[in-house]
Structure 1
């Protein structure tokens, strides 16, 4: 089981978290601080697995971002690395080579990125377990969600126009 997912940059700033096990807010902050320190201090030639509090943390660096997943001690680390890679490929496919600088300098797109990154993660994982492994299925579901959002925007725009005309 995946207990949590943390996405942070090389400076340790958290970009995304998803928790599948119960942690208090104080404990979450402590976990993030502790794991960020451990992962960032490791050399690039060391393995991507860390034993931590009776669990394993599997992480992978893509460009300037670290994707980390905490799993049970007896779970397969290589499968978890594959899930991380699968998630990164889905983000890359959807956002067309997005990088952290895109998020920093296009701050108006950040909320959309975060919402869709969570949505893609939710399509990939359910309750800490792999739900869908097909990239095509995930891409189709995300496209359907985009279509719903676009329809809602159009309807809101039309409603706004009607209200303006009524005034």
Structure 2
């Protein structure tokens, strides 16, 4: 099981977190500080797996972002590397070569995509086409809601004149 997902920049700034195991806010801050420091200090040629507090941390760097997942010690690290790569491929497909700014300004979409892939720390959907279809449906729903909100505000504006 995946305990948590962290995305942070080369400067150590957190861009996305998703917690599947219970951690207090104080513990979360400590975990982020410890792991970002440990991973950022590692050389690029070192293994992408780190033993940490009885768990394994699997990470991978894409451009200026580190994608990091903490798993139970008996879980398969290579499977998690594939999940990380799968998540990045879907982000790339949606944003068109995802970058740090995409995650900063569209963090809600990144969370939505992650929630479609993982549920309760387990891989839920392995089809890129299915996820692309679900994301398109979500975008259509948001656009419909915006249009309805605009039409309602127009009706209200006309009625108050």
Q: Can you list the C-alpha shifts for 1:71-95, whole angstroms capped at 9, x where unaligned?
A: 0001000000000000000000000
What runs of 5+ residues in structure 2 fail to find an aligned partner? none
Length-normalised TM-score, structure 1: 0.94
- The aligned runs of 1:53-68 (5 Å cut-off) are 53-68=53-68
- Residue 98 of structure 1, CA deviation: 2.4
**Structure 2 Cα separation of the partners of residues 61 and 12 of structure 1:** 12
Deviations 1:113-137 (A, max 9, x none): 1001000000000000000000000
Separation in structure 2 between the aligned mates of residue 128 and residue 101 of structure 1, nearest angstrom: 26
Matched, 1:15 2:15: yes
- Which contiguous aligned blocks of 4+ residues in structure 1 show a shift greater than 6 angstroms? none
TM-score for both structures, normalised by structure 2: 0.97
Structure 1: which 5+ runs fail to align? 105-109
Report what 2:81 is aligned to: 81
Match of 2:108 in 1: 115
- In structure 1, what is the equivalent of residue 24 of structure 2? 24
Give the superposed CA RMSD.
Answer: 1.0
User: By how many angstroms is 1:100 displaced?
Assistant: 1.8
Q: Which residue of 2 aligns with 1:127?
A: 120
Q: How many residues align?
A: 160
Match of 1:107 in 2: none
